[in-house]
Amino acid sequence: MRLLLIDDDTLDRMSAMRALKKSGDPMDVTEACSAEEGLELSKIHKFDLILLDYQLPSMSGLELLKLLRGGTNYNPPVVMLSHSDDETLALRCIEEGAQDFIIKSEVTGSRLMRAISHAKERYRIEQALRESHAKLRLLAEVDSLTGLANRYMFESALKDALPLAKRLKRSVAMVMLDLDKFKYVNDTLGHAAGDVLLSQVAKRLQGPVRDGDLLCRLGGDEFAILIHDLDDISKVRRLTDRLLSALEAPFKVEGQELIISASIGISTYPECASDNIQLMKCADVALYRSKEGGRNQAQFYSRELHDQIQTRIELERDLHLAIERHELFLHYQPQIDAQSEKVIGVEALIRWQHPEKGLISPDKFIPIAEETGLIVDIGNWVFETAIKQFQSWQLRFQSPNFNLLIAINLSAIQLGQTGLIETIDQLLSTFDVEPHRLELELTESAISDNNDLCIQLLKDLADKGIVLAIDDFGTGYSSLQQLKNHPFKVLKIDRSFIQTICENKDDLQLLKAIGAFAKTLGMEIVAEGVETEQQKNWCQSLQFDRIQGYYFAKPMSPADFEKAYVDQLLSA
């Protein structure tokens, strides 16, 4: 795939290039740092797609968009990039011919590739529409009863989706849904009542379906959903749960209340089938299994994938009991002063010792906790356990120079938790820990996903003296400029930068730029994931403030931490 990236901001271009590289998809990217250069390159070369920054010095991205899309023979698909989240601006760009509009703070490798994929698909459809009769095609693709896509449109979309998924190494899922005992409604109330019910069902099903996926009515009482760019099979199970829940409330048809359930069958590409026909057959077989199993449920065609879902369901069930069964515990990883190489802080890291499955990584159960809301109770437990442990260290290593701090992760869900500040205040007071000893770590996505109330909450936390850190910096697409709008005092460089710092010059240059910018804002810089002496030396030469990683120590129990650093702590 040949891409043209037009952006006058060097850091933004570097971040975009990094996101594209992280996608793992082969592509040839040409960079242009001005509107004039980009326009000239587009005339010389035939690019598959153009990534265009809206804000350019000599002309606006909108003006350049009109020039790029104004040709007669070649009108490349364009995805607009902007720091602005103005919906009016986004709509205007789409109206002028852009296939997509992305806020730079929301772009990751997968998000960018999805946008590119969708842009190319929209471009293909746009070209097809120009060559055909738009009104006739619309009639051919829409179900007249429900207004949803019809079987023809669904099968066409599915046929196109599989080659694209294969090329991009993505998964696709098909969800087939059939109403239980719908024939009874037709037989007792008549087909007119049945049509009213189908229209109401169609409206309810639209709610749980995410943008970009395709919901259609295959015919009769059978519906289907095409799920693109699937990165986690568990998301399909979540969707089917929402679909079944959407149908739980009674339907009102001709003055009567009707209780309707549905059976669901799920198949995935490439696990279940290699072509669209077989994928539909697999979903149909899974649907039949749902009917056989008692209706009002979802079944996966693949036994292996079905087992994965069952395992996840079991983890979710067991996670509800993990706290009261004392299966959760904390380990602590030291944070080292980059220059003196002495311990100055610890990060509290949660672990789960399952009685049957053994040690379960946070990567496995934290997403489940966030999706189910359990993260609030677990987060409160982490706060209490970590702060209580910190108090014991304060009492043991009493010294005027004791300056240890404790870092605790805070998720986006917790950030929206009612009474969060009061909970933290009470714990700090109960265990006699000063607010400036506590450092709360939030990811870039947690910042971008939250509203003004949560941003105000961050300011309130900072006003109390609590230190705020932005974690895994660089994995998202947040602007460095955005840091000025939040009260962060610490910036944690993501481990992926550190691991490539010795051989990747682009990452090194980006780290230097990030470091310089952060220093101007008075922010401390923490490098995580330091595993070798060479990486440590680079971090020291870049004048980072703290270092964290296996080179110094793995996460350890409180007793092991005390044993390893007792001399340093007593002499502090």
Check whether 572 has a pLDDT greater than 90.
Answer: no
Question: Burial, 503: exposed, middle or buried (Cβ in 10 Å; 0-12, 13-18, 19+)?
Answer: exposed
Considering the domain architecture, whether residues 386 and 265 belong to the same structural domain is answered as no
292 φ, ψ to 5°?
A: -65, -35
Which of 304-313, 374-383, 457-466, 509-518 is predicted with the least confidence, judged by mean pLDDT? 304-313
Cα–Cα distances (Å) from 563 to 12, 394, 512, 569, in that order, read: 45, 15, 36, 10
> Quick one: DSSP state of residue 357?
T
Q: What is the CATH number of the domain that holds 277?
A: 3.30.70.270
Considering the domain architecture, whether residues 147 and 87 belong to the same structural domain is answered as no
Which of 507-511, 524-528, 545-549 is predicted with the least confidence, judged by mean pLDDT? 507-511
Question: Which stretch of DSSP H or E encloses residue 269?
Answer: strand 262-269
- The whole-angstrom separation of Cα 159 and Cα 280 is 11
Residue 381 within any structural domain of the chain: yes
Strands (E), 341-478: 343-354, 358-360, 405-409, 438-443, 467-473
**Which residues have C-beta within 8 Å of that of residue 155, sequence separation ≥ 6?**
276, 280
Q: Do 497 and 509 contact (CB within 8 A), yes or no?
A: no
- The whole-angstrom separation of Cα 418 and Cα 457 is 10
What per-residue confidence (pLDDT) applies to 110?
A: 80
Residue 60 within any structural domain of the chain: yes
Residue 79 within any structural domain of the chain: yes
The last residue of one of the domains, among 130, 161, 184, is: 130
Instruction: Choose between 134 and 552: higher pLDDT.
Output: 552
Q: What percent of the chain has pLDDT over 90?
A: 37
For residue 275, give the 3-state DSSP assignment.
coil
Considering the domain architecture, whether residues 145 and 125 belong to the same structural domain is answered as no
What per-residue confidence (pLDDT) applies to 450?
A: 52
Considering the domain architecture, whether residues 197 and 277 belong to the same structural domain is answered as yes
The last residue of one of the domains, among 130, 165, 188, is: 130
For residue 499, give the 3-state DSSP assignment.
helix
Check whether 134 has a pLDDT greater than 60.
Answer: no
Considering the domain architecture, whether residues 487 and 533 belong to the same structural domain is answered as yes
Instruction: Choose between 126 and 58: higher pLDDT.
Output: 58
The pLDDT confidence band at residue 74, using thresholds 50, 70 and 90, is low
Considering the domain architecture, whether residues 269 and 397 belong to the same structural domain is answered as no
Which of 350-354, 373-377, 450-454, 504-508 is predicted with the least confidence, judged by mean pLDDT? 450-454
Considering the domain architecture, whether residues 263 and 175 belong to the same structural domain is answered as yes
Average pLDDT over residues 377-383: 94
Check whether 137 has a pLDDT greater than 90.
Answer: no
What per-residue confidence (pLDDT) applies to 44?
A: 86
Check whether 133 has a pLDDT greater than 80.
Answer: no
| Mean pLDDT taken over the chain | 86
Instruction: Choose between 304 and 194: higher pLDDT.
Output: 194
Check whether 25 has a pLDDT greater than 80.
Answer: no
Cα–Cα distances (Å) from 459 to 166, 184, 328, 486, in that order, read: 46, 59, 31, 7
The pLDDT confidence band at residue 212, using thresholds 50, 70 and 90, is confident
Average pLDDT over residues 533-542: 91
Average pLDDT over residues 530-552: 93
Q: What is the CATH number of the domain that holds 427?
A: 3.20.20.450
Per-residue pLDDT tens for 228-263?
Answer: 888 777 788 889 999 999 999 999 988 888 999 999
What per-residue confidence (pLDDT) applies to 215?
A: 94
Per-residue pLDDT tens for 406-426?
Answer: 999 998 888 878 889 999 999
Considering the domain architecture, whether residues 482 and 391 belong to the same structural domain is answered as yes
* Torsion sign over Cα 364, 368, 371, 374: negative
Instruction: Choose between 19 and 399: higher pLDDT.
Output: 19
Q: How far is CA 336 from the centre of its chain?
A: 30
Residue 564 within any structural domain of the chain: yes
Considering the domain architecture, whether residues 175 and 269 belong to the same structural domain is answered as yes
- The whole-angstrom separation of Cα 462 and Cα 439 is 10
Nearest Cα to Cα of residue 472 among 410, 520, 430, 418: 410
* Torsion sign over Cα 211, 216, 222, 228: negative
Average pLDDT over residues 76-85: 87
- The whole-angstrom separation of Cα 464 and Cα 459 is 9
Give the chain's domain count. 3
What per-residue confidence (pLDDT) applies to 49?
A: 87
- The whole-angstrom separation of Cα 104 and Cα 53 is 9
Q: What percent of the chain has pLDDT over 70?
A: 91
Considering the domain architecture, whether residues 191 and 62 belong to the same structural domain is answered as no
Q: Do 301 and 269 contact (CB within 8 A), yes or no?
A: no
- The whole-angstrom separation of Cα 492 and Cα 396 is 29
- The whole-angstrom separation of Cα 213 and Cα 148 is 12
Average pLDDT over residues 157-167: 88
What per-residue confidence (pLDDT) applies to 306?
A: 63
Residue 262 within any structural domain of the chain: yes
**Which residues have C-beta within 8 Å of that of residue 59, sequence separation ≥ 6?**
35
Per-residue pLDDT tens for 181-194?
Answer: 888 888 888 999 99
Residue 314 within any structural domain of the chain: no
Report for 229-238, 300-309, 310-319, 445-454: range of highest mean pLDDT: 310-319
What per-residue confidence (pLDDT) applies to 326?
A: 92
Considering the domain architecture, whether residues 175 and 242 belong to the same structural domain is answered as yes
Average pLDDT over residues 145-152: 90
Question: Which stretch of DSSP H or E encloses residue 311?
Answer: helix 303-322
CA dihedral (386, 391, 393, 397) in degrees, to 10, reads: 160
For residue 156, give the 3-state DSSP assignment.
helix
For residue 121, give its domain range.
2-130
Check whether 223 has a pLDDT greater than 90.
Answer: yes
What per-residue confidence (pLDDT) applies to 118?
A: 80
Check whether 467 has a pLDDT greater than 90.
Answer: yes
What per-residue confidence (pLDDT) applies to 382?
A: 96
Q: What is the CATH number of the domain that holds 109?
A: 3.40.50.2300
Check whether 328 has a pLDDT greater than 90.
Answer: yes
Residue 148 within any structural domain of the chain: yes
Question: Which stretch of DSSP H or E encloses residue 427?
Answer: helix 420-430
The pLDDT confidence band at residue 322, using thresholds 50, 70 and 90, is very high
The last residue of one of the domains, among 130, 155, 187, is: 130
Both structure tokens of 153: 């449109």
Residue 234 within any structural domain of the chain: yes
Both structure tokens of 336: 């080292």
Check whether 544 has a pLDDT greater than 90.
Answer: yes
Q: Do 129 and 137 contact (CB within 8 A), yes or no?
A: yes
Report for 26-30, 67-71, 441-445, 564-568: range of highest mean pLDDT: 26-30
Considering the domain architecture, whether residues 480 and 346 belong to the same structural domain is answered as yes
Nearest Cα to Cα of residue 266 among 230, 232, 236, 229: 236
What per-residue confidence (pLDDT) applies to 396?
A: 84
Q: How far is CA 347 from the centre of its chain?
A: 24
Check whether 154 has a pLDDT greater than 60.
Answer: yes
The pLDDT confidence band at residue 476, using thresholds 50, 70 and 90, is low
Per-residue pLDDT tens for 332-361?
Answer: 999 999 999 999 999 999 999 999 999 999
Instruction: Choose between 371 and 440: higher pLDDT.
Output: 440
**Which residues have C-beta within 8 Å of that of residue 351, sequence separation ≥ 6?**
328, 329, 330, 331, 359, 360, 362, 555
